């Protein structure tokens, strides 16, 4: 189903060609609806290139624009913008076709790709903390949207389950472990004795050497140390899975760093043989002498003592994802501090001959009310599990006040949906590079750009149909009775504005992946909810006469579907009642 935006863009391109002008500029939604529905800056771009008057160029373009089948005659505004206004009858027709389309008009990608999305990636022997939210919910939303658009998505949780810290973990396990504490809260106990071991190793060379020996034994395959390591991984994964269950996060593969351990010697050997890496002062190093931004930033692939590091593992990971998983693209949803690291890894991949699309998708930080990195009062990172459980508790209080008549199971379910949705939406509604302040009252508010506001809009729509009862008998998802055409009547401005906004869903969803910005979709849904509330106040639905009644019910129904689908693409559920 072609969108208005793509249709008008083609007509603009044809007009530029007919006017003897180069294809330039872009066609976007109008910033001010008073001037129309779409606009283009093509005349301004062409005029600047050719040294002409923008308004004169705009006039020449308009002379060749044939838009009678979709809109009114284009107008020229300001310094040379060309504005387009859709005809209500055409919008009504498009709205009716959306109603009968399971995908709400969203087309699938013409060239689907196999995409590995690397997100989450916690470290074993440590509980996930609030800082993990951004990678998890951003990565999940991008994976959901890419999958909906027809790409084959492989969700990979690249767990930090190998490395030098395990020498201390194993020493602490053998010498400082409290079995009772381990039974009650495994990760808290592991963190406790790890910190204690770390403090001892800092002040006592003998403990430091003992930790190093435990690591050597682990890397050498010592059974006792391997068993301890396996138990630490299992206990950590148990805790992680509880968090993923709360967040409704699912992975296709969870290949931790240990998965690549046996491949690392081969990685180094290949890089040396191919001349990509070289020996330098006893270490194996990749230099980037011909890359200006990396020319003074070499990448160590094997240390002087023969040990490997994150870079070695990440090169092996690229080999696996591109060589064995046959990925066309790999998206690393990892914080901005790793920017240099990934520039090096991607350059090494390029030198190896890989031509896949490798992207480092960065994001900002979550701040406390003091506008510093969010911490507990003791200065530790806020555990993610505790934060999510707190979200449920706070949402429960809101439900008790708003709808105390819900049954106990309903209250528990709705509290979970609202609490988790609020946390996710607070993150996804921000541009990903923006730092934001974590404020419970703001994110759980039923007013403003929040998940509860959008969820409440959906619930309000569902209540309309409960009141309508059997008098609303048109249901496009009932395939047994077949698709039944619905006549949409758009007479009031509030109806027209809502229908136009709903038709833009198919334009918005693909845009998210242009710069990996789920906030575009989140803010669109907020606008839909606002426009719907204006429509609902201005246009009686159940009390109106036919055919307006059925048409307005159809608009309500379509709004509910857009909100439901849009929030689902962001990983946010909606309740039927609140």
Identify the band that residue 31 occupies on the pLDDT scale cut at 50, 70 and 90: confident
Q: How far is CA 522 from the centre of its chain?
A: 10
The torsion angles phi and psi of 490, rounded to 5 degrees, stand at -120, 100
Half-sphere exposure of 57 (CA within 13 A, CB side): 27
Output the pLDDT for position 379. 64
Identify the three-state secondary structure at position 73.
coil
**pLDDT the model gives residue 484:** 53
Residue 256's nearest CA partner among 115, 135, 120, 348 is 120
Q: Burial level of 180, CB count in 10 A (0-12/13-18/19+)?
A: exposed
Predicted pLDDT at 471:
63
Q: Minimum mean pLDDT among 23-37, 455-469, 483-497: which range?
A: 483-497
Confidence band (pLDDT; 50, 70, 90) for 375? Answer: confident
Sequence-ordered list of residues with C-beta below 8 angstroms from that of 427, at least 6 positions apart, any chain = 133, 134, 137, 138, 366, 436
> For the residues 481-492, what does the mean pLDDT come to?
72
pLDDT number for residue 373: 82
pLDDT of residue 476: 52
What is the token pair recorded at 150? 């027809």
pLDDT band at 378, cuts 50/70/90? low
Mean pLDDT of the region 139-156: 98
Q: Strand pairing of 152-156 and 278-280?
A: unpaired
Overall average pLDDT of the 354-367 stretch? 96
Q: Which residue has the tokens 């509880």?
A: 242
pLDDT at 58 > cutoff 60: yes
Least confident of 5-19, 82-96, 378-392: 378-392
Return the percentage of the chain with pLDDT > 70, whole number: 97
pLDDT exceeds cutoff 50 at 403: yes
- Which tokens hold the place of 199? 């403090």
Q: Which two tokens stand for residue 565?
A: 């689908």
**Side-chain half-sphere exposure of 102, counting CA atoms within 13 A:** 7
- Mean pLDDT computed over 48-67: 93
Strand order in the sheet with 278-280: 278-280, 283-286, 299-302
The closest of 308, 298, 226, 205 to 263, measured between CA atoms, is 308
The mean per-residue pLDDT over the stretch 444-459 comes to 96
Per-residue pLDDT reduced to its tens digit, 98-128: 998 999 999 999 999 999 999 999 999 988 9
Residue 374 reports pLDDT greater than 90? no
What angle separates helix 186-203 from helix 223-247, to the nearest 10 degrees? 130
The Cα angle at residue 503 between residues 500 and 504, in degrees rounded to 5:
95
Mean pLDDT, rounded, for 447-460: 96
Query: What pLDDT is stored for residue 482 in this prediction?
Result: 41
DSSP symbols for 414-457: HHHHHHHHHHHHHHHTS-TTS-EE--HHHHT-SSSSSHHHHHHH
| Contact yes or no for 214/225 (Cβ under 8 A) | yes
- At residue 181, the 3 state secondary structure works out as helix
pLDDT of residue 402: 87
User: For the chain, what percentages of helix, strand and coil (3-state, to nearest 5) are there?
Assistant: 55, 10, 35
Q: For position 165, what pLDDT does the model report?
A: 87
- What gap in Å lies between CA 375 and CA 382, rounded to an integer? 5
Q: Which DSSP string corresponds to 315-331?
A: HHHHHIIIIIS--SEEE
The Cα angle at residue 245 between residues 244 and 247, in degrees rounded to 5: 65
The mean pLDDT value for 318-333 works out to 98
Mean pLDDT over each residue of the chain, to the nearest integer: 93
Query: Can you give the pLDDT at residue 496?
Result: 97
Q: What's the average model confidence in pLDDT over 366-391? A: 84
Where residue 1 falls among pLDDT bands split at 50, 70, 90? confident
Residue pLDDT, tens place only, 238-297: 999 999 999 999 999 999 999 999 999 999 999 999 999 999 999 999 999 999 999 999
- The predicted pLDDT at position 362 comes to 97
pLDDT, residue 305, reads 85
How far is CA 149 from each of CA 193, 428, 491, 503, 511, rounded to the nearest angstrom? 47, 19, 33, 17, 11
Reported as a pLDDT band with limits 50, 70 and 90, residue 473 is low
What global pTM score does this model have?
Answer: 0.93
**28 exposed, middle or buried (CB, 10 Å; 0-12, 13-18, 19+)?**
middle
pLDDT of amino acid 255: 92
DSSP-based three-state secondary structure for 13: helix
- 479 — pLDDT class (breaks 50, 70, 90): very low
Asked whether residue 481 carries a pLDDT value surpassing 60, the answer given is: no
Instruction: List the structure tokens of 302.
Output: 């094997």
Beta bridge partners of 518: none
């Amino acid at each position: 189903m072609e969108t208005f935006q793509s249709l008008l863009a083609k007509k603009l391109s044809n007009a530029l060609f007919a006017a003897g002008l180069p294809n330039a500029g872009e066609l976007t939604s109008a910033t001010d609806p008073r001037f129309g529905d779409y606009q283009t800056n093509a005349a301004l771009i062409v005029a600047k290139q050719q040294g002409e008057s923008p308004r004169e160029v705009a006039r020449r373009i308009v002379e060749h624009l044939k838009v009678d089948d979709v809109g009114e005659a284009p107008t020229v505004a300001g310094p040379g913008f060309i504005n387009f206004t859709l005809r209500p009858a055409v919008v009504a027709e498009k709205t009716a076709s959306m109603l009968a389309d399971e995908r709400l008009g969203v087309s699938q990608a013409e060239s689907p790709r196999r995409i590995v999305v690397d997100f989450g990636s916690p470290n074993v022997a440590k509980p996930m903390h609030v800082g993990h939210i951004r990678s998890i919910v951003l990565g999940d939303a991008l994976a959901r949207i890419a999958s909906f658009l027809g790409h084959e998505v492989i969700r990979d949780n690249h767990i930090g389950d190998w490395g030098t810290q395990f020498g201390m973990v194993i020493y602490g396990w053998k010498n400082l472990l409290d079995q009772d504490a381990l039974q009650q809260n495994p990760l808290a106990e592991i963190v406790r004795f790890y910190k204690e071991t770390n403090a001892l190793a800092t002040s006592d060379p003998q403990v430091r050497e003992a930790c190093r020996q435990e690591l050597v034994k682990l890397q050498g395959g010592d059974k006792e140390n391997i068993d301890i390591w396996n138990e630490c991984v299992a206990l950590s994964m148990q805790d992680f899975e509880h968090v993923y269950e709360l967040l409704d996060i699912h992975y296709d593969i969870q290949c931790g760093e240990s998965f690549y351990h046996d491949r690392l010697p081969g990685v180094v050997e290949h890089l040396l043989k191919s001349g990509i890496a070289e020996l330098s002062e006893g270490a194996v190093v990749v230099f980037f002498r011909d890359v200006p931004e990396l020319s003074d930033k070499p990448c160590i692939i094997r240390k002087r003592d023969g040990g490997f590091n994150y870079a070695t593992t990440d090169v092996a990971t690229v080999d696996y994802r591109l060589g064995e998983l046959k990925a066309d693209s790999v998206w690393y949803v990892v914080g901005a501090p790793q920017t240099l690291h990934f520039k090096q890894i991607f350059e090494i991949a390029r030198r190896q001959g890989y031509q896949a699309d490798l992207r480092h998708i960065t994001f900002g930080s979550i701040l406390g009310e003091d506008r510093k990195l969010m911490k507990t009062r003791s200065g530790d990172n806020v555990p993610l599990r505790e934060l999510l459980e707190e979200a449920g508790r706070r949402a429960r209080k809101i439900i008790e006040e708003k709808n105390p008549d819900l049954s106990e199971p309903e209250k528990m379910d709705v509290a979970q949906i609202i609490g988790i949705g609020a946390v996710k939406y607070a993150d996804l509604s921000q541009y990903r590079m923006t730092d934001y302040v974590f404020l419970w009252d703001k994110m759980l508010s039923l007013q403003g750009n929040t998940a509860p506001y959008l969820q409440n809009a959906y619930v309000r729509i569902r209540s309309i149909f409960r009141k309508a009862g059997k008098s609303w008998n048109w249901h496009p998802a009932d395939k047994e009775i077949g698709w039944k055409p619905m006549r949409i009547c758009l007479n009031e401005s509030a109806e027209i504005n809502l229908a136009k906004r709903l038709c833009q869903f198919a334009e918005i969803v693909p845009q998210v992946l242009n710069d990996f910005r789920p906030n575009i979709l989140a803010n669109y849904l907020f606008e839909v909810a606002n426009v719907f509330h204006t429509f609902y106040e201005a246009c009686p639905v159940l009390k109106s006469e036919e055919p307006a009644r059925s048409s307005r019910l159809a608009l309500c129904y379509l709004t509910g579907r857009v909100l439901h689908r849009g929030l689902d693409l962001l990983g946010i559920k909606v309740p039927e009642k609140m």
